[in-house]
Structure 1
Amino acid sequence: MPQYAPTPPAPAARRGTTTPLARLAVLGAAIALALTAFGHSGAAADTSFTFNGGGWGHGVGMSQYGACGMASQGKSYTQILSHYYTGTTVSSRTEPSNLRVLLTDSSTITLTTAGSTTISGVGTVGSGKTINLRRSGNNVVLSGAVSATVAAPLTVNQSGAMRISPPNNRFDRGHLVVRTTPGSSTKLRAVIEGLSTRDYLLGLGEMASSWPAEALKTQATAARTIALVHAGSSGDHDLKGYLDGAYIGYDMAAISGTTYFAKWTAAVDATAGKVITHNGTPISSAVYSSSSGGRTENSENVWYASVPYLKSVDDAADSGCNNGRNTWSSTFTGSQLGSKLGIPAVTSISVSGPNTPSGRTDKKTFTFTVAGGARHNFTGAQLRSKLGLYSTKFSIGGSIDSGPVRPPSGSLGDIRAHQGRNILVAGRASDPDGTPTMFVADVVNGKTDWHLFDSSNGYFLSAFPASPGKHTTCVAVLDNPTGAATMLGCRDTVIK
C-alpha cells in the first residue's frame, strides 16, 4: 500500500511544460521535506552504533589484571613474566643508583612545603609554605611565600613530603631540580633527581598494593627493567613519570595505607636486582597495560616493530580480580559519532584491514558514511582517542557493514494514468545492501504529494490517487542504509 506524507505549503503552480531541471528541483526539495516528515530510517540521529570491546590500554606485553589473576591461581612472578614476555627469563643485575624522573613541563609550577626546605639562591623556608614558579628568559621567578629571581637550574631540597603541582602529588625522596624546558620559551621542567631504584619503585603507583604478592613482584620487576634500560640517559632525565611509569612518590604510601604499602615494599625488596632478560640482555620494552580483554597482542599490530618477546598470548586470567574492563560497551547515535569525529551525522560504518590475534583494530580502517553519502576514514587507534574508548579491541554492532556501501540501481518503466483518477509508477530497482525504498514526488496545481514504498524482488509497482490536472511525477530510489537518493526519471501525466 502506498504511504502518504502531509502536504506542506508549495509555490504557485508552474504553467506550461516542466523542464528536466525543474523536475530535479521538485524531486530534491520533496525528498528533503519528506524524509524529515517521515523520520525515514536513513536519518543518522535514529541510528545507534554499539562498540563492544575488551581491555584497557594497548594490550601489548603484560596485562596487570592478568598478572593478578594468574597470581590468584598460584603462579609465581617468574612464571607470570615468562608467560607475558615470550622467551624471557628473570635475571639479576646491578640496580642504577641515581635515577632522574621527569614530572612535568609547565608554564607554572607550584610547590607546597611540608618541612624545612632549602632553595638554591634563596635559602631555607619553613613548612606549609606555597611557592609559585614561572619562567622569565633563562631565570626562574619565585612568588608567594618567597619573592626572588634565580638563574636556572633551581634546586630544591625538601625534608618532608613536598607537593609539586602539576602533577599535584607529594614527593619525599630525592630532590627537585627545575630547569627551562628545551624548545620552549615559556615552560619550566621539573625533575626529581637522586633516586635509588628502590626509592623510585616505592613511589610507583601502577598496581593496587592490595593485590597478591606475586602480582606485585611482576610489577616491581617490569618497572625495574624499564628503569635499568633508561638509566644514564644523555638528556636531563631518565624516566618520564607519566609515561614510563606512574611515579606519584609519597602518595603511593598515603593511598595504599600502612598495611598494603608494606606489601608493596616487600615485593620491591623481594625482587631486588631482578630484571627481565631475553637472550641474556635486559629487554628494552617491558611494556604493560591494565587489561588485555582476554588476549594480548603482537607489538607490530599496535605499533610498528616486531619484537620477539612481545607476542600475542592467551590471557584468560585477565577476567579475574574483579576486572571491570575485561569486557565493555559504548553506544553512540549517528549524530553523536559525527559530533565527536568532526563530521556530519553517521548513517553507516564499514571496516577493512588486517585481522589480529586479539582482535585489535589499531590499523583497521573504518569508513563512516554520513548523511548525504560522503565517506570519512578513521583507524581504530584514532577512534579510541576521539571517542574515549578503553582500548582498540572492539567490534561495532548496529549498522556496521562488511564492506563499503554500494549504491542502488534501477530504471523507470512507466508513469501513466491508471483506472480513472490514479497514477501508476513501475520499473526496476535493486540495492546490493538490502531492499531499497522507492520515493515518488507528484506535483499538480502547485501542490506536492510524496509516496514511499519498498521495491520487491528487483521491481517496483504502485498506484496512488490523483486529482484532475497536469501532474509532474518523479521517481527516485533511496539507498539502503544511507537514504541517499538516485533519480530514475520524471514524466508528465494528465488526469481528467
Structure 2
Amino acid sequence: MRLGISVVLISAFVAAGAGSARAGTALIVTGHGWGHGVGMSQWGAYGYALHGWKYHRILSHYYPGTRFGRIGEVRVRVALARGANVVTIGCATPMRVTDGRRLTRKLPAGVYGIGPKLALPVGRRGMGLSFGHLAVFDCARAPLTADGRAYHGTLTVRSDGRHVSVVNSLSLDTYLRGVVPSESPSHWPLAALEAQAVAARSYAISELRPDSWYDLLPTTSDQVYGGVAAESPSSDKAVYATLGQVLTWDGQVARTYYSSSSGGRTEAVQDAWPGSAPIPYLRSVPDPYDTYSPHHDWGPFASSATQLAARLGLGSAIDSVSVERNEGWRVESVTFRLTSGAVVTRTGARVARALHLLSTWFSIGELRLSTSSTRVLYGSRVNVVVRAANVKGAVLQQQSGTGAWRTLRQVTRPAQLRVQPLANTAFRLMLPGTSG
C-alpha cells in the first residue's frame, strides 16, 4: 500500500565536539501480485478484455494448449458450515424436510435453529421430532437461508452427534451465478466475466469429490461463493453465454487455478506448490495487463535488521540477504546472514507467510547509513557512507543549523561523502511512500 508519505528510515548524528557518530540499517520489502499466481490472473484478464480480447483468447493465453469442451448438467455440493454448534435454516414459504430414511415432512415458513440433535417442530400439533443424523431442506417457492444468507437448491444439515455441518446442493451453473461476481467484480467487461465463468466451471468439475460429503468450499480454498446475494445480471449473462463450456486437456477437464493478480507473470504450478508435478497448461506466461491491479506493485515496507529478524524468528539481527528465484520470478528461497555469524535459509513461501506478504514475488532491499569513526573531534573530517541495494528512490539528507533538511543526493549505489562538521549536524536516509 502506498501511503504518499516520507519516513525517516535511518539516521546518523555527527557532533562537532568530541562525541559519537551512529550508524543504522533498514531492510525494505517490496513485491508484486496477490495470490499464488498460477493460471489466469483475474486483473490480467480484465486488462485483456479492455484491449478487445474475447474470452476464448484470454483463456487460451493463461492455459496454453487447452481446448474448449462441453459438459452436461452437473450438481455440486458446497460446504457452507463445518463443525458448528448450531445453524439456522429458514425460508419465507413452507418447506419440506427429509430425513436419512427419505421420510418427508412439512415445515412451516420461518427460521429454525438446529443443533446436533436435529430436532424440528414437525408432525402432529408441531411436536418436536429428531431427524437423526441427516435433514434435507427444500423450499419450492423461495430460496432457503443458512445463517441468514440465501441460497438456491437444497440445504442438508448433517450431525455427528456433537456438531452440525451444512451443505448446499444445486446445479453447477446456478452455483456459478454466486461464484463469478464473488471472484470478479460484476461491472467488469463481459469478456473478463465470461473467462471467469469458464475457469470457475472447469475448476469446480476438476475438484468434485464423490467420496466425500461435499465437493467445494465457499472460500478462496476453492472458489468464493456468495449465494443469491452475490448474483447480478451481468455475471448471470456471462454464465449463461458460456453454458456448459469447460477447458480440457488430453480429454479431461482441466484444473484451472486462478488468482487475483500475477504481478506481471504467472507462476508454474510446480513452483507454486513444490512437490506438484508439472502440468503443461499451468506454466509461467507473461501477464502484461496485470498492471491494472492495485496490487501489481506493493510496498515498500521498512523494518530495522533487528525487527525483521524478530518477525522471522531468526535469533539475531540480519546482516545481509540473498534470494533464489524461479522462472516466474517468485522467491524459492531466502538466505539470511546474521550478525551472529549464522546463516539461515528459509523458503520464499515461509518468509511471505511470516511477513504477511501478498505473494512470494518479493524483494528485500537494504539501506545502510554509517560514519567512518565512532568519535568525532571538532573540525576533523568524517566519512558518511551510504548504501542502497535493491531499493529505488532513496535520498540522503542533511539537517542544517536551523533544523531544516536539505537533500544532498539520490542514493542508487554505494557512495561516500566526506564532511567537516563545524556544528552539530545529522544525516538521514529517506524513502518516499514507505510504510513501517
Using the size of structure 1 for normalisation, the TM-score is 0.62
Aligned mates of 1:191, 1:290 — CA distance in 2: 27
Partner of 2:245: 274
Task: Tell me the alpha carbon deviations over residues 385-419 of structure 1, each in whole angstroms, 9 at most, x when there is no partner.
Answer: 2221111111112259xxxxxxxxxxxxxxxxxxx
Contact 2:86/2:163 (<8 A) preserved? no
Distance in 1 of aligned mates of 2:86 and 2:308: 37
**Equivalent position of 2:262 in the other structure:** 292
The 2-side partners of 1:178 and 1:62 are apart by 35
Distance 1:435 1:340 in 2: 24
**Match for residue 191 of structure 1?**
167
2-side partners of 1:356 and 1:337: how far apart?
A: 24
Shift of 1:119: 4.5
**What is the percent sequence identity of the aligned residues?**
31
Within the alignment, does 1:201 sit opposite 2:150 as a pair? no
Q: Is the contact between residue 143 and residue 153 of structure 2 (CA under 8 Å) also seen in structure 1?
A: no
Between the aligned partners of 1:173 and 1:367, the Cα distance in structure 2 is 52
Q: What displacement does 1:54 show?
A: 0.9
- The whole-number CA distance in structure 2 between the counterparts of 1:352 and 1:74 is 38
Contact 1:111–1:162 (CA under 8 A) maintained in structure 2: no
Shift of 1:80: 0.5
Q: Does 1:164 align with 2:133?
A: no
Is 2:333 aligned against 1:364? yes
Residues 300-348 of structure 1, C-alpha deviations (whole Å, 9 max, x = no match): 111132110011111111113xx21111114142354344334546433
Distance 1:118 1:338, change over 3 A: farther
Structure 1 residue runs without a partner (length 5+): 5-36, 254-260, 401-433, 441-452, 457-496
In the alignment, what sits opposite 1:179? 158
> 1:388 is aligned with what amino acid?
H
2:318 to 347, 352, 357: 347
Distance 1:130 1:438, change over 3 A: farther
Do 2:21 and 2:371's aligned partners in 1 also have CA atoms closer than 8 Å?
no
Asked if the contact 2:144/2:154 (under 8 Å) is kept, the reply is: no
Paired residue type of 1:278: W
Q: Is residue 2:132 matched to residue 1:151?
A: yes
Q: Which amino acid letter does the alignment assign opposite residue 338 of structure 2?
A: T
Provide closer, same or farther for how the CA distance between residues 237 and 368 of structure 1 changes in structure 2, counting only shifts above 3 A: farther
Partner Cα separation in structure 2 for residue 310 and residue 297 of structure 1: 8
Contact kept, 8 Å, 2:311 with 2:354, in 1: the verdict is yes
- CA deviation map 1:212-246 (0-9, x unaligned): 11111111111111222334622111222222211
- Correspondent of 1:230 among 183, 207, 219: 207
Matches within 5 A, 1:29-108: 40-41=22-23, 47-96=25-74, 98-108=75-85
Aligned to 1:241: 218
Amino acid at match of 1:174: G
| 1:447-491 CA-partner distances (Å, limit 9, x unpaired) | xxxxxx99x9xxxxxxxxxxxxxxxxxxxxxxxxxxxxxxxxxxx
Kindly tell me: are residues 130 and 215 of structure 1, through their superposed partners in 2, closer, same or farther at Cα, counting changes over 3 Å? Answer: same
User: Secondary structure at the residue paired with 2:46?
Assistant: helix
2:107 to 79, 102, 124: 124
Matched residue type, 1:364: S
Distance in 1 between the 2:193 and 2:78 partners? 21
Pairwise CA distance, 1:364: 1.4
Q: Work out which of the residue numbers 359, 366, 369 in structure 2 matches 1:391.
A: 359
TM-superposed CA distance for 1:95, in Å, is 3.5
Structure 1 residue 265 corresponds to structure 2 residue 236: yes
Partner of 2:278: 306
Gap change, CA 1:368 and 1:288, over 3 Å in 2: farther
SS in 2 for 1:49: strand
Q: What is the rounded CA distance, in whole Å, between the counterparts of 1:357 and 1:397 in structure 2?
A: 21
Q: Which amino acid aligns with 2:64?
A: T
Cα distance in structure 2, aligned partners of 1:91 and 1:99: 19
Distance 2:76 2:321 in 1: 48
Secondary structure of the corresponding residue to residue 364 of structure 1 = strand
Instruction: Output one character per residue of 1:405-456: Cα deviation in whole Å (capped at 9) or x when no partner.
Output: xxxxxxxxxxxxxxxxxxxxxxxxxxxxx9997889xxxxxxxxxxxx99x9
Which structure has more RCO (C-alpha within 8 Å, separation ≥ 6)? 2
Structure with larger Rg: 1
The answer to whether the 8 A contact 1:109-1:164 is kept is no
